Structure 1
Amino acid sequence: MMRLIQKLLVFILCFPLLSFCQKNDTKNWIQLFNGKDLTGWVVKINGYPLGENIHNTFRVEDGLLKVSYDGYEDFGKSFGHIFYEKPFSNYILKLEYRFVGKQAKGGQEWGIKNSGAMIHSQSPQSMELDQSFPVSLEVQFLGGIDKNIERPTGNLCTPGMHVTMNNQKITEHCIPSTSPTFYGDEWIHVEVEVHNDSLITHKINGLKVISYSKPIFGGQFNTTFKEGIPVKSGYISLQSESHPIEFKNIEILEL
């Protein structure tokens, strides 16, 4: 009986502290998307000046950040990104996405149910007019198309960078994760934990699907930065790659 009373006293004393920590943690999360407009974000689309959101590609409707193509006659090479206004280096990024509708006319075949979030990216201001993708690390989002073909999501693609995995330098452009394939239009929860350049982890629906470290400049799509330099921070952006996609609950916790 005495032990039970002691345990109850410990719980009573600790509960206020736990409540405080939970409240404090909630306050530290920053909402990157306000659900009303694109305040805090800037658009860069291949072939167009910074800030020109052609055909209202990136828009806010029903509290969602949508990437839409109803104004396009032909997508061509109009790859676009919408960047948050400031860089980050040590953080947890959370968001939810879902693919909707059909691919825009003129999109590449590989662009079907293909999008992503770029981290440790170069700034939108530093991109060239005709640059399709920022030098960055892409948390690639894929959706299933053929029931007989696996298409994991939360993969890593590396436009203009290399990383280290299992103590080996990885130079492949895209590395698949261990996530399952999602074939429908359900919301997928993504979490990316970034510790500068020491460790980066992708999680899908709460499960770790890939980890890597030591990103450096180098390889395909790098036309700006000296190869081999470590990348410890950068901007966050969301992609426009020809298939409609929606985002919500985009938030960040700086560590």
Structure 2
Amino acid sequence: MLRKSGFCLVLFFALSMANFSAMAQSFPIELPASWKKGEAIQLFNGENLEYWYTFIKDRGRDEDPKNVFQVADGLLTISGEEWGCITTNNPYDNYILKTSFRWEGETYGDRKEKARDSGLLIHSKGEDGGYSGIWMHGIEVQIIEGGTGDFLAVGDGTETFGLSAPVAKELQGSSHLYEPGGDLVRINKGRINWYGRSPKWTDTIGFRGKKEVEKKVGKWNDLEVQTWEGNIAVFLNGKLVNFATKVQPEFGRIQVQSEGATIQFKEITLFPLIK
């Protein structure tokens, strides 16, 4: 009888903890079925940058003498030679953003031998160049060799820009690692690494980890960002690699970064979400 009672107590405790965990993470980590996709907006139409304007550090808006941002043969090529971005003319909220990218071409400057780097900044607000003279403040979905899918709070260090995510107990260096079912942490600066980021990651060109989801250089990758009511889910080549909730702000402009490496896009499509 004593052994049976002990077993029941352990079982009760385990079930209680499972229920507590479920209550603590009642948010959906994938888009609920109640949200429906609206008509597609071809943010990149293969012909021009109709929906965007350019911004380059130390040059400003719509000044691109080195053709950092070029459209040809149905592709958007961002050379990376100068630091900057393209920014949507309009802000957006509650959407699915589908992109297809590949690394193709040179690396430049102090990132010549470092990991190829770019990124999507969503929910961007404030002044052009408000962050380091380059970007608006926002929430970054990182595109970098070995770290595509990481979240970065590119904010001003206040609650105005931040996110929460379930993470592993152990840090990766100074960063948290996304882990479904983990404890929620909140950041207003720094990053939440995607679930498979290598603990041995180094900022070197061509880096690849054991759990890599991104394809080899020159191959096309599908990166999808779903954002609704303060949640962001990131899918890389069909796999959920990161998730955040209680994101602030919940809407804003979209930026695509130029950060020292040549990257190409053949699709940037936004589907508004309707509930």
Structure 1 ranges of 4+ moved more than 6 A: none
Query: What letter is aligned with 2:266?
Result: K
How far apart are the structure 2 equivalents of 1:132 and 1:32? 21
1:83 CA displacement:
0.8
Instruction: Output one character per residue of 1:75-99: Cα deviation in whole Å (capped at 9) or x when no partner.
Output: 5xx4201012111010000000001
Q: Runs of 5+ in structure 1 lacking a partner?
A: 1-23, 70-74, 144-150, 217-230
Alignment counterpart, residue 170 of structure 1, candidates 171, 177, 187: 187
Alignment counterpart, residue 245 of structure 2, candidates 213, 231, 234: 213
Match of 2:233 in 1: 201
How far apart are the structure 2 equivalents of 1:138 and 1:110? 23
Match of 2:106 in 1: 102
Q: Runs of 5+ in structure 2 lacking a partner?
A: 1-35, 156-160, 167-183, 197-211
How far apart are the structure 1 equivalents of 2:243 and 2:264? 25
How far apart are the structure 2 equivalents of 1:174 and 1:59? 30
Query: What letter is aligned with 1:236?
Result: I
TM-score (norm 2): 0.67
**Contact kept? 2:57, 2:129, Cα under 8 Å:** no
Query: What letter is aligned with 1:91?
Result: Y
Match of 1:135 in 2: 137
Counterpart check, 1:88 vs 2:92: yes
TM-score (norm 1): 0.72
Instruction: Output one character per residue of 1:176-215: Cα deviation in whole Å (capped at 9) or x when no partner.
Output: 2135253321100011000132x11000011111000122
**Contact kept? 1:196, 1:233, Cα under 8 Å:** no
Q: Which has the higher strand share?
A: 2
After TM superposition, the structure 1 = structure 2 runs for residues 120-159 of structure 1, keeping only pairs within 5 Å, are 120-122=123-125, 126-128=128-130, 131-143=133-145, 151-159=146-154
**Contact kept? 1:119, 1:139, Cα under 8 Å:** yes
Match of 1:243 in 2: 261
Query: What letter is aligned with 1:66?
Result: T
Cα RMSD after superposing both structures: 2.3
